A and B are shown apart, each in its own frame.
Chain A
Amino acid sequence: MSKQVTVAVKRQDTQTSGSRWETFSIPYEPGLNVTTILQRIAANPVTVEGESSTPVAFDACCLEEVCGACTMRVNGRVRQACTALVDNLLAEQPDRITLEPMTKFPVVRDLHVDRSAMFESLKRVHAWITADGYFDRGAAPRMSQDAQEDAYPLTTCMTCGCCVESCPQFNDGSSFIGPAAISQAVLFNEHPVGKFDANARMEVLAGDGGIADCGNAQNCLKVCPKNIPLTQSLAKAGRAATKYVISRFLQK
């Protein structure tokens, strides 16, 4: 028989039900990735025990690590399923591949989680430019190549949630907005026009759930698939928050 890949999937039927493991066996192909495995299971959802099951629910879209949808825990490590290649995974852990949903977000079903908290955080930090309107009024202010090169990595954040998943401070009990949103606040505060709203963002960064909640564990930096310099953003946010609090105090 041709080579098979054993895949254990942590399944959960609804938001409130308990979880269970199911194991599937998929014919090996060169170049196979985890999203394809999930599609193969969908086409033939039969477990290794020969039981009929259902397709595994998961979130995915671009299949090239740019939309951020397919984040899950693969072999216990949070990452994108579309760039998780079976060859590499088997090298890490030869007997089986394990797939689990992220733990910091409510599970919708199986591997599909609800990350709306991250989008809400982006709202809280006003992660946008307050444009007067969408009519023609020429270009934005000029920007140096250095400034563009500093900003660019931060703009590639795809709200995937890896950083949040790894962050010990982000959990049920806390209101921490998380590293991704803080990094976006820094991005906009450094933009030549975005900085006009800096105070509104600083209110959030300096307030409850803001930068003070970061314990500087730096886990986030290690897991970000886009290599966004998160700790640099966090340090900047920390300094700016201190300054903001002092100046607010002095103005009282």
Chain B
Amino acid sequence: MANEKDRVVVIGGGLAGLAAAMRLAEAEIEVDLISMVPVKRSHSVCAQGGINSVNPATRELGDSEWLHLDDTVYGGDFLQHQPPVKEMCDWGPRIIDLMDRLGVSFNRTPEGFRDQRRFGGTMYKRTAFAGATTGQQLIYALDEQCRRWESEGLIRKFEYWEFLGPILDDNGICRGAVAQDMFSMEVRSFPAKALILAHGGCGLIFGRSTMSMICTGGAAGRAYKAGVKYANGEFFQVHPTAIPGTDKLRLMSESARGEGGRVWVPRKPQDERDPRSIPESERYYFLEERYPKYGNLVPRDIATREIFDICVNDKLSIDPERLCVYLDLTHLPSETHRKLEGILEIYEKFQATDPRVTPMKIFPGVHYSMGGLWCDFEKDEKTGGLALGSPRNHQSNVEGLFVIGEADYQYHGGNRLGANSLLSCIFTGMIVAPSVQNYMSSTNGGATDPPSTLFEREAARHQADCDALIARDGNENPYTLHQELGDSMTRNVTVVRDNAAIKETLVKIDEIEKRYANAALTDKGSWTNQNLSFTRALGDMILLARVIAEGALKRDECRGAHYKPAFQIKPPDAEDPAEMRRQAAEWCEAFAKQIKRWLKTTIAENTPDGPSFSYEAVDTSLIPPRPRTYGLKGAEIIDEVWKQRMAGEQAGAPTEPVASV
């Protein structure tokens, strides 16, 4: 057996962590796989829709990896570095083939090929799917491979173990991790040559989200506290239609509106009548009225904003306590109901009402963290993609500490395209393995073994933190604090952002942080203490909430999911063509300025006085940024003016854009 210290520790066994573990095992590198839940139960199982890649059927229609790259960066409002995205899109077809070989039961065409469906943000049917449980099927295939390696002794699983922090030596190099057994509460060090964090997203900072119970951001907060930079925290995707439960927001697929579902609220605020008895004239079909052209099928971000606006600003939520609007399918014929069977059953199962006869109640739900721990990449100048195997790929600013999956900030920029995340998770797991391997064999990869006192010291430090938390006295309730934090974050730092409101939330975070110091446990025992785990994670959520809220406050623009109307570039409104052209030129000028000021990655670093912010240039070397003019008046003219401007820039001064048009 190899030296204990030559192992790699992977935190998290979702798609990303499992893909990494499996590839490391294949390379005969021993892995300790640490996860709070049995890896098979990781949050990745929740994904229903599918996974994107170019495929023979879309190629036939002119699709290519390049167009997948283009859709992804356009959808992300150009905020992501392009070389990693290019590499991911290039790998897409191979990854789906691999998952197929590993036994995923993808839906089939009559001829026996994999079937694909279309998702938002593209013209092509790129999305492969396995029934309504694609994420579950993908993670099971990887779980099975890891079980195989486990039985061959290359992977050791530590399930129901919680990551408490990375171990950094005196030179700041990562030497492993400290984790706690969630049953016996034993705290111990896991020495390693490299640490890979694959702990997923952090939706619970917003209280309720579409994510699983363990998506707290606890692991992210602990890495951030130890010195890993946090990038683009303010970018969070909110899905327009989720079923608002008391405990969780469960996704309601877009197909409900696609098949003719209508969104409305009673015109009378909090009308208590049975919705079916409210006459047409007293219903406000606000999407249809406000967007006569697109009606209920406005793009996702617009639907999200309007539903939010109607409840929060117009105070027309059906239920005063729990914000929601009606998504009505009751008028549709029974054939349509049959077509939507799968999603209607989910609604029925949790709401115990039949959406065929009673309108569904839905509200936008926090869904995906585009931001995450910062990590590096190395571009291959020949291909424009990644220099595969470079130890820089996915390595954070802490040497020896790598980040992959939803936990990292790459690939999705300001906004994620549907079905691109399962791909990025598997892809990052696949490519991080050779990078880690090369890091380990390079001389600076911890050539000399650190003293064993380092591991004892770190375990003791975390043990002392646990003891202090258990011993803490006070009258604050961690569950109430979590709810208050989530409510304030959801109200002011999700869909529509306004600086005064965000400041309110920052004040609230100050208050919650103070009160948190008095949050005492009701369980002071030392066996399977879930109270301890939750309260500890709350501390991390407060830390990251500040990163998200302050990042949002500082970013005075609209980009992707970050929508701050006070800083929106004024859209053209002229009827006269000449005036329209002048306004379009003005718009483009403002847009160019916005790119120069804000097309940057937000970087937060932890300091004793809170996060310190800086901004980093984004690699847009493959596809130059262009305006997203969807739904704007004069969109064609803006596009035309922008193209001319770009052409002029290329011919003339390639460095600074000229100030006059």
Q: List chain A positions with a Cβ less than 8 A from chain B.
A: 13-14, 29, 31-33, 35-36, 39, 42-45, 52-55, 57-69, 82-83, 85, 87-88, 108-110, 112, 115, 119, 122-123, 126-131, 133-134, 136-140, 142-145, 147-148, 151-152, 155-156, 158-159, 188, 191, 193-194
Contact = CB atoms under 8 A, between A and B. Distances in A.
B122 interface: no
Given A35-B247, A131-B101, 12 more contacts: A13-B525, A55-B522, A61-B42, A63-B250, A66-B133, A66-B136, A122-B147, A129-B141, A134-B22, A145-B107, A145-B110, A155-B105
A78 to B, nearest CB: 17
B349 interface: yes
Contact of B97 (A45, A52, A129, A136): A136
B133 A63 contact: no
A36 B247 contact: yes
Interface stretch (B57-65, B526-534, B537-545, B645-653): B526-534
A156 B134 CA distance: 10
A33 B108 contact: no
B350 A42 contact: no
Contacts of B98: 134, 136
B232 to A, nearest CB: 26
B477 A43 contact: yes
Given A36-B247, A127-B144, A158 B350 contact: no
Contact of B102 (A31, A67, A122, A131): A131
B575 to A, nearest CB: 50
A131 B145 contact: yes
Contacts of B336: none
- The 5 A-B pairs at the shortest CB distance, nearest first, are namely A142-B112, A43-B479, A128-B144, A109-B528, A67-B41
B125 interface: no
A227 to B, nearest CB: 12
B26 interface: yes
Contacts of A112: 528
Interface in B89-135: 94, 96-98, 100-114, 130-131, 133
Given A69-B37, A188-B103, A61 B212 contact: yes
Contacts, number: 191
Instruction: Identify which of B37, B96, B101, B106 gathers the most chain A CB atoms within 10 Å of its CB.
Output: B101
A136 B108 contact: no
Nearest to B527: A14
B245 A67 contact: no
Nearest to B112: A142
A142 to B, nearest CB: 3
Nearest to A184: B144
A194 B103 contact: yes
Contacts of B106: 148
B148 interface: yes
A118 to B, nearest CB: 10
B346 interface: yes
A39 B247 contact: yes
A159 B346 CA distance: 20
B247 A63 contact: yes
B40 interface: yes
B618 interface: no
A193 B38 contact: no
A193 B101 contact: yes
A151 B340 CA distance: 22
Contacts of A115: 38
B145 A66 contact: no
